[in-house]
Amino acid sequence: MIFPELRGSPESDGGRVWWHVASAGGVMAESPMELFRCPACGKVVSLPADAERVCGECGYAFGKPVAITPRREGNQVADPGGGMVQRDVATTRSSKEWARPAPTPREGSIAGPEPKSFTAPSRPQPSADQVNLRRPAKKRGVNPTRLLLHLGGWSILLMVIAIGVKFRMGKTDSESTRGGTKHSESDASMEEGMQRFLMQELPSVRTTLLSYLAEASWVGRAQFVSNSSDVAPKMQRHYRSSRMWSLSPGSSLTPTSANVIRVPGGNPIVETVFQVESHREAQGEPYLREVVFVRERNRWKIDWEALVRHAPQSWSLFYADVAGSNQPAEFRLFARKIMTRVQEGTPVMVLKFYQLREDLEEMWKQDTPPVVVARDSDNGRRFLEIFQRDPSRSRPGDPRLWHRDPQNLRRVRVQLRWKTGKDDERYLVVDKVLAGNWLSGVAGERVFQDRFSNIRGDSEKEEKRLNLGAGEAE
């Protein structure tokens, strides 16, 4: 919109301001012009004083001026002739501060119902008499003497309890310290005596082993083994299918570790680990061999059953149940606990057995069937004790060869047998746990007789109660 040029000076008649606008011919117009700022669109609009006050851009209707009479000094009312017009003061504000006006309802539109006003219920005011009757509650004063007595009593009680607990703990610690000191002193003294014994006996032990290996037949070697009268027939059957251990010329035999086992009521046992090394490159790498010696008639004899890990029959054929026999068989094996569970209300252990192989990967390939043993039975308690052994808790006089075993495996000497269950199903059971080592019968069982009672086979009771089969063991 193009406004005409405003020329001259503004005139006023008591508050109204207008401009005389020159016409195109240069003649000043007498009608005053009024300027308005539209609050809707923000445009400045000039309108004649007698024209309709409507914005030409958006159609906004301006309010009419209100004539007021200003007061003069002394609070005197001004003459009514002095016209003063009050303009819409809102027109001086910025257009950004104005909110857009609400659109006027169009014809045909339905106006919504007016919102109902909500009046909160008036709260009854108490009367003056009730207000006067209320008295402020007095705070009860704290008796300092009573408070001190209360705190003092509790303090004395706590001190008595603390002194009693400290005295009890100190007494227990002193007893355990004295017991531990005596225990450690006894172990140190025993270990020192065993080391002196080994330094004295190791040369004769090594000589016995060299004499045994020098014999070319089992008959000659039988004179160097313990309990030879009973072991000789076993040696004969064993060497029909197995080779004898021999040293190649130029090989060296060096003991790498040795330990003394205390046997209750018997002669001491020496367990050793020898390293066999050949000085010839074609003979292969050095290897280790466990050898156990038993003292008999002031001579050292070799525990042959522990040396060869003797078993009356082939382990591979036995766990494959090739013969189909129910007769028990004795084996020196590694035992591994697979899991523990509750079966028919009875806690049981699931075990697997492996025969030692020089190659561990080959040993793990043995597809042996799982065996279920009741945990609270005699065999279960023996297995539980064997699996809970810790090498760090070994004392002088205890076996130590098992410290070299693979993790989670424990060497055991057991009697196993096959059973026939329902639907002619075959499953393997533990008939008897003989020892937690691979020593021969006499020496191995004596080592643990002070720990365990004589173990008797109770698998018949376990099988009748549990009715275990190979399918249930999986």
Q: Which helix (H) or strand (E) holds 387?
A: helix 378-387
Tell me, yes or no, whether 33 lies in a domain. yes
Q: How far is CA 174 from CA 170, 179, 185, 197, in A?
A: 6, 8, 16, 34
Confidence of residue 99 (pLDDT cuts 50, 70, 90): very low
Helix (H) or strand (E) holding 318: helix 315-319
Report residue 439 as tokens: 């020593």
**272 and 288, same structural domain?**
yes
Q: Which of 63, 97, 131 is the last residue of a domain?
A: 97
Q: Are residues 32 and 53 located together in one domain of the fold?
A: yes
User: According to the model, what pLDDT value does residue 342 have?
Assistant: 92
Whether residue 43 is predicted with pLDDT greater than 80 in this model: the reply is yes
Is 403 found in the same domain as 445? Answer: yes
Domain assignment present for 465: yes
Where is pLDDT greater, at 135 or 346? 346
338 and 235 within one domain = no
To the question of pTM greater than 0.95 for the whole model, the response is no
* Distance separating the N- and C-terminal Cα atoms of the chain: 98
Question: What is the per-residue pLDDT across 189-206, written as a single tens digit (0 to 9) for each?
Answer: 888 999 999 999 999 999
Q: Does some domain include residue 47?
A: yes
Same domain, 291 and 403: no
Write the pLDDT tens digit of every residue in 235-250: 999 999 999 999 888 8
pLDDT in tens, 377-420: 999 999 999 999 888 888 888 889 999 999 899 999 999 999 99
What b/e readout covers 399-434, taking b as 16+ CB neighbours within 10 angstroms? bbbbeeeeeebbbbbbbbbbbeeeeeeebbbbbbbb
Residue reference for tokens 């006499």: 442
Q: What percent of the chain has pLDDT over 70?
A: 65
Q: Pull the structure tokens for residue 392.
A: 């760090």
Residue 242, exposed/middle/buried by CB under 10 A (0-12, 13-18, 19+)?
exposed
Same domain as 263, residue 387:
no
Residues 276 and 350 in one domain: no
Please, are residues 353 and 368 in contact by the beta-carbon 8 Å criterion? yes
Structure confidence at residue 54 (pLDDT): 84
Q: Could you tell me if 449 and 429 are in contact, meaning their C-beta atoms sit under 8 angstroms apart? A: no
Give the Cα separation of 91 and 56 in Å (integer): 16
Which pLDDT value is given to residue 424?
A: 85
Query: Taking residues 96-101, what's their average pLDDT?
Result: 48
Tens of pLDDT, residues 302-360 = 999 999 999 999 999 999 988 788 889 999 999 999 999 998 889 999 999 999 988 88
Last residue of a domain, one of 33, 62, 97: 97
Q: What is the DSSP letter of 170?
A: H
Measured over the CA atoms of residue 350, residue 356, residue 358 and residue 363, the dihedral's sign is: negative
> Cβ(225)–Cβ(244) under 8 Å?
no
Token couple for 253: 């035999």
Give pLDDT tens digits for 273-312.
999 998 766 567 889 999 999 999 889 999 999 999 999 9
Question: Total structural domains in the chain?
Answer: 3
- Residue-number span of the structural domain to which 255 is assigned: 179-307
Of 307, 332, 353, which marks where a domain is finished? 307
Q: Which of 440, 219, 223 is nearest to 332 (CA)?
A: 440
Q: Do 351 and 449 belong to one domain?
A: yes
Residue the block writes with tokens 């004589």 = 454
* pLDDT for position 236: 95
Rg (CA), the chain: 56
Whole-angstrom CA distances from 159 to 163, 166, 168 are: 6, 10, 14
Tens of pLDDT, residue by residue over 78-93, are 455 555 555 554 444 4
Query: Does residue 129 sit within a domain?
Result: no
Answer yes or no: do 241 and 322 share one domain: no
- Phi and psi of 386, rounded to 5°? -65, -40
